[in-house]
Structure 1
Amino acid sequence: MLQEGAHGKWTVSSSDESAEENSDGEKPCTSSLSDAACGGTSGPQYPCSDARKAAHKRKASPLKLTDKSLSAEAPPAVKQRPSQESSGWCLSSSDEEPEDRQKHVHKETVKEEKHDVSKEHPLNLCKDDKLSENLKEEEYNVTPSEAQDIWDLVTGGNPFRFFLTKVSGIEQNYNSGALHIKDILSPLFGTLISSAQFNYCIDIGWLVRQYPQEFRKKPLLIVHGEKRESKAELIAQARPYENISFCQAKLDIAFGTHHTKMMLLLYEEGLRVVIHTSNLIAEDWHQKTQGVYLLGSTPGRYQGSDKEKWGHLRLRKLLKEHAASIPAQESWPLVGQFSSIGSMGADGSKWLCSEFQESLVAAGSGLTTFRKCDVPIHLVYPTVNNVRQSLEGYPAGGSLPYSIQTAQKQLWLHSYFHKWSAEVTGRTHAIPHIKTYMRLSPDFQKIAWFLVTSANLSKAAWGALEKNGSQLMIRSYELGVLFLPSAFGLDKGYFHVGREKLPERKDSATYFPVPYDLPPEQYGSKDQPWIWNIPYTDAPDTHGNMWVPS
């Protein structure tokens, strides 16, 4: 059934009906699923990006420093362009923009957690010891006292309702104030009637197991943007579950994605809305830092007053109307932190330091004229060493799909890059998948506003002006939450930076828990941003492995 409204076109169907749909010439295809089940190494059992697939392959078949297969699997060197010799990368000669080549360049990512294959799962067709080991689920049990802590955490003690996800492999005191997906779906919060999960990358079997046993057969609507083979794979996953139906977001503009990450949980007692940054796969809830008012993007071309409904122009409007104008705010830097990067153009004036920056510096009756790049910009994105030294090692880079084809065309952007570090929260070795943007005072002690969102640093996510600024074009669906001091009764116009690990301060709502270290540390002369589709063989990661993404 097709439904059309102001927010785009959606197809709502049951799992069985979706399997029979053929409007796009699609036929159910489970070849990649059955290959994964019987071979165990061909890839994840759900649609995902090439970067994720490479991470799965390397985890299944790690390459040690002395591994003879390394030389055989390493791709041949590609001739470097003279102007880029100092970059230290093996660069391709492609002139195509990644977003003009394949949709999956914009897709995000994964780290592999272990879980049991249920007897009812359609992939339980052959007994492969390696697959069983890879899919063994890590136990997640909650004691009565922990359940009480979860209840207290969500219902009070955190004035912002801003949480990070729990990370395995770090000291448990650093998970204080953090949530697992099973905490979010806990029966503590009511008697579930039905739910809807909006997301980009979805492992249905894993998702079902995150619900309490008593809720696993309740109606579940999955909102996605998959097409053709990947849609068929998603449908195939759901065949054992009669309670699951699908809503396909129509993406009429090429290379867009349904990147929104949201849960609607309907209880007998009421409705909960959870906006977060994690894909619905085990890896994103295991060893990555994630975040759990409202600011969204939806695909389309918008003119007139409609331009201010979505994307960065929506943020501009909200900041002008609700953010306080602070003296000398021109000197307050912007900090953006993300897990993927799109094409920014030949220089900063094409988007980053023009229309996008103008939206982020808007506030009350502040800057009346925009001056190009007057406001400092700090972009936080992991270095190669950040990834190499992480809990997951090189495979963590599968969730950071910045490609060499994009990077080599915007070397100017890298002068804005700063390292990922979260010493203050004890999560410095958990690679971020969270995306945050904020504006701070020059001493990094005060926050004018803070945004947690699914939107990475890309024009596809935030929108780009066309036709001499008269039209805003957005490719993807995104969703985030904007935290403004005025919404919490702070008349000074700013939050203080929370220096403790996710503080549960009961004295006031003035300390905002920033999930990484401030001030951010700029890349050194030897630092390089993580690029997923080139090899790293000079030094082993935390598991003693190399990275060859072929």
Structure 2
Amino acid sequence: MTDPLLKRRRLSNGNDDVLGSSGDAERATPSSLSHPISPPRKKMKTERKILASPFRLTSIRDLSDTDNVDAVSLSDLVGDPLIAELWDFNYLHDDLKVDFLMEHLDEDTRALTKIHIVHGFWKRGDSNRLMLQEQARQHPNVTLHTAYMPELFGTHHSKMLVLFRHDDTAQVIIHTANMIAKDWTNMTNGVWISPVLPKLQSPPQEASTCGAIGSGPRFKFDLLNYLRAYNERRNVCESLVEDLAKYNFFAVRGALVASVPGKQDVELAPEVTCWGWQALRQTLKTVPLQAGASEIVVQISSIATLGIDDTWLQRYLFDSLSTSRPPRREESATRPNFKIVFPTPDEIRRSLDGYASGGSIHTKIQHPIHMRQLRYVRPFFHHWANDSCKGGLTNASTSNDNARISGRKRAAPHIKTYICYGAKSIDWALLTSANLSRQAWGEATNKLGEVRIASWEIGVLVWPELLTGDPKATMVGTFRTDEPSREEYSDSDEDSPIVGLRIPYDLPLQKYGDAEVPWVATMEYTEPDWKGRMWPGN
């Protein structure tokens, strides 16, 4: 029964008497007696909203549980027995590639799951392609798809999983690991996992707008355009495009930054999906930067031939990374400071797998053109492990003099991150498959106003306002955990949201010493690693 007091009304004579719903008069109570005697309670402070990192690290087999807090394994990603169909986009595949993926699916349903593997081995006689075909014949539920590769020196370097479940949900996972055991055991890699995507209640319709960059609709728009690019010459992903279009991406918060082989015009409308360094510029034009000096840390596992001088590096990649939403920071004329994190031979020798880790980490310094490149890149170089006796420490990007330990210095890097550290917090972060190369990001603009890209790449860029909806939100680095410490920020007078970002390297960064050079997989190393092995090079 409804409480009569909920329906009481003030009498028309203005007295404090009330009339119940039954019409019976109730005794009037002087208003003075209804006031509290004690002072009014202070307004309780709203608990600060804290969000975990949108990027995760993969678990490391030979590290302690303390260093694997919040880390994810391949089984965590693909071991759900509800998975009905799985699409695997990847680059490197070893002799047990198909078996390696299959053993991480749920053992009771793996033979029933439809598996699609998209690879870049386009030469019919390629031993990797022949091996994959042989392996696939042993699994009737596995279908192979060869990516369209128009560029001779390009690679299918994207790393993505698309999952469809029996409960009518889907999920997109963008990561940095090759589908081989080495990458998922003792090497540092990163993962972005989309929210669970529900199926649309009605058939998808052509949207009148692609949505704002970073929004779920725009992410879906760009992702479907990326997948459609595979169908340029043959049907590779047509069924995937049709199926994924049936799902609701509204909960996604992230900007897709990808590369597709081919040529594109420099002048493109905002509603057109851009690729490569143009995608960086298009995205970062929407991202605000805090006032004050900033620095951008480029942390990669491979550096290609960039040119005899720094024109491409400065004018195309670094200029693109320096873009921001207008009006710009107070020091609008001040360019961010750039640092490049890349391991030295000493760091590879001391890594968990020793020299074996170095087989996945590449640059060259043997030839004259590479030595010229080393001269202009060397000033940017910083260590991965930050414990070299030959290097020099620099101030931390976060203006924190205390060392922040990631727990990954012995797990050699295969992850690729681009992070903009502002004066007080992180402005934005990108997790991607794209290394420091013109093939990945695109060449300089040609005379026809076109940019040529050679490789397939894919990544996700995030920033604090996007993830929280609050322009006052801040993003801070987290170490050995995905979530910022609630105690660390609970005493602050601010109540704006805090977003964590899992940092894979230690801070402050350590600059290369004058005599130090980057690891080169093709060079011979006779100094034994910690396991007593030498490296023959090739």
TM-score range for the pair, normalised by the shorter chain length: 0.5 to 0.7
Q: Could you tell me how far 1:375 is from its partner in structure 2?
A: 2.8
Partner SS for 1:251: coil
Q: Which residue of 1 aligns with 2:535?
A: 547
Q: Could you tell me how far 1:233 is from its partner in structure 2?
A: 2.2
Cα distance in 2 for residues equivalent to 1:505 and 1:273? 28
Asked if the contact 1:502/1:515 (under 8 Å) is kept, the reply is no
Q: What does 1:286-435 align with in structure 2 at a 5 Å threshold?
A: 286-292=185-191, 293=254, 294-303=256-265, 304-305=267-268, 309-321=274-286, 323-328=287-292, 331-348=293-310, 350-366=311-327, 374-404=335-365, 405=367, 407-411=370-374, 412-421=376-385, 424-435=405-416
Asked if the contact 1:454/1:480 (under 8 Å) is kept, the reply is yes
Question: Comparing 430-439 with 525-534, which one deviates more in the overlay?
Answer: 525-534
Q: Could you tell me how far 1:400 is from its partner in structure 2?
A: 0.5
Instruction: Decide which of 447, 453, 457 is 2:436's aligned counterpart.
Output: 457
Asked if the contact 2:473/2:498 (under 8 Å) is kept, the reply is no
1:473-513 Cα offsets, whole Å, 9 max, x none, are 11111111111112123413641222454336568542322
Cα distance in 1 for residues equivalent to 2:171 and 2:431? 18
Q: What does 1:458-497 align with in structure 2 at a 5 Å threshold?
A: 458-468=437-447, 470-488=449-467, 489-492=469-472, 494-497=474-477
Q: Which residue of 2 aligns with 1:201?
A: 92
**1:520 corresponds to 2:509:** yes
**1:176 corresponds to 2:69:** yes
1:186-219 Cα offsets, whole Å, 9 max, x none, are 22xx611111100001211211111111232111
One-letter code aligned to 2:67: Y
Asked if the contact 2:53/2:483 (under 8 Å) is kept, the reply is no
1:158/1:273 Cα in 2 relative to 1: closer, same or farther (>3 Å)?
farther
Asked if the contact 2:122/2:147 (under 8 Å) is kept, the reply is no
Unaligned runs of 5+ in 1: 1-155
1:326/1:504 Cα in 2 relative to 1: closer, same or farther (>3 Å)?
closer
Partner SS for 1:210: coil
Q: What does 1:149-168 align with in structure 2 at a 5 Å threshold?
A: 159-168=52-61
1:372/1:298 Cα in 2 relative to 1: closer, same or farther (>3 Å)?
farther
One-letter code aligned to 2:337: P
Cα distance in 1 for residues equivalent to 2:318 and 2:484? 32
Partner SS for 2:466: helix
Cα distance in 1 for residues equivalent to 2:149 and 2:320? 25
TM score, norm. by length of structure 1: 0.66
Unaligned runs of 5+ in 2: 1-48, 192-253, 387-403, 491-496
Q: Could you tell me how far 1:161 is from its partner in structure 2?
A: 3.7
Cα distance in 1 for residues equivalent to 2:188 and 2:361? 13
Cα distance in 1 for residues equivalent to 2:470 and 2:512? 35
Partner SS for 1:213: coil
One-letter code aligned to 1:337: Q
Cα distance in 1 for residues equivalent to 2:290 and 2:383? 28
1:203-242 Cα offsets, whole Å, 9 max, x none, are 1121111111123211100011112213222212211011
Partner SS for 1:214: coil
Asked if the contact 1:448/1:493 (under 8 Å) is kept, the reply is no
Instruction: Decide which of 247, 259, 269 is 2:145's aligned counterpart.
Output: 247
Asked if the contact 1:324/1:493 (under 8 Å) is kept, the reply is no
Q: Could you tell me how far 1:372 is from its partner in structure 2?
A: 10
Question: Comparing 416-425 with 276-285, which one deviates more in the overlay?
Answer: 416-425
Q: Which residue of 1 aligns with 2:110?
A: 216
Cα distance in 1 for residues equivalent to 2:355 and 2:441? 29
Cα distance in 1 for residues equivalent to 2:300 and 2:185? 18
Q: Could you tell me how far 1:169 is from its partner in structure 2?
A: 1.3
1:207/1:490 Cα in 2 relative to 1: closer, same or farther (>3 Å)?
same
Cα distance in 2 for residues equivalent to 1:464 and 1:449? 24
Cα distance in 1 for residues equivalent to 2:333 and 2:520? 28
1:401-438 Cα offsets, whole Å, 9 max, x none, are 21334633412212211000277122210001000001
**1:439 corresponds to 2:400:** no
Q: Which residue of 2 aligns with 1:267?
A: 165
Cα distance in 1 for residues equivalent to 2:333 and 2:531? 45
Q: Which residue of 1 aligns with 2:29?
A: none
RMSD: 2.5
One-letter code aligned to 2:349: R
Asked if the contact 1:325/1:365 (under 8 Å) is kept, the reply is no
Asked if the contact 1:336/1:437 (under 8 Å) is kept, the reply is yes
1:256/1:495 Cα in 2 relative to 1: closer, same or farther (>3 Å)?
same
Asked if the contact 1:165/1:180 (under 8 Å) is kept, the reply is yes
Asked if the contact 2:299/2:340 (under 8 Å) is kept, the reply is yes
Partner SS for 1:410: helix
Asked if the contact 2:52/2:500 (under 8 Å) is kept, the reply is no
Asked if the contact 2:158/2:433 (under 8 Å) is kept, the reply is yes
1:505/1:198 Cα in 2 relative to 1: closer, same or farther (>3 Å)?
farther
Asked if the contact 2:432/2:457 (under 8 Å) is kept, the reply is yes
Asked if the contact 2:484/2:498 (under 8 Å) is kept, the reply is no
Q: What does 1:130-141 align with in structure 2 at a 5 Å threshold?
A: none
Cα distance in 2 for residues equivalent to 1:375 and 1:346? 23
Q: Which residue of 2 aligns with 1:73?
A: none
Cα distance in 2 for residues equivalent to 1:325 and 1:535? 44
One-letter code aligned to 2:291: P
Q: Could you tell me how far 1:268 is from its partner in structure 2?
A: 1.3
Cα distance in 2 for residues equivalent to 1:434 and 1:420? 11
Asked if the contact 1:421/1:516 (under 8 Å) is kept, the reply is yes
**1:192 corresponds to 2:172:** no
Cα distance in 1 for residues equivalent to 2:532 and 2:371? 28
Look at both structures and tell me which one has the larger radius of gyration over its CA atoms: 2
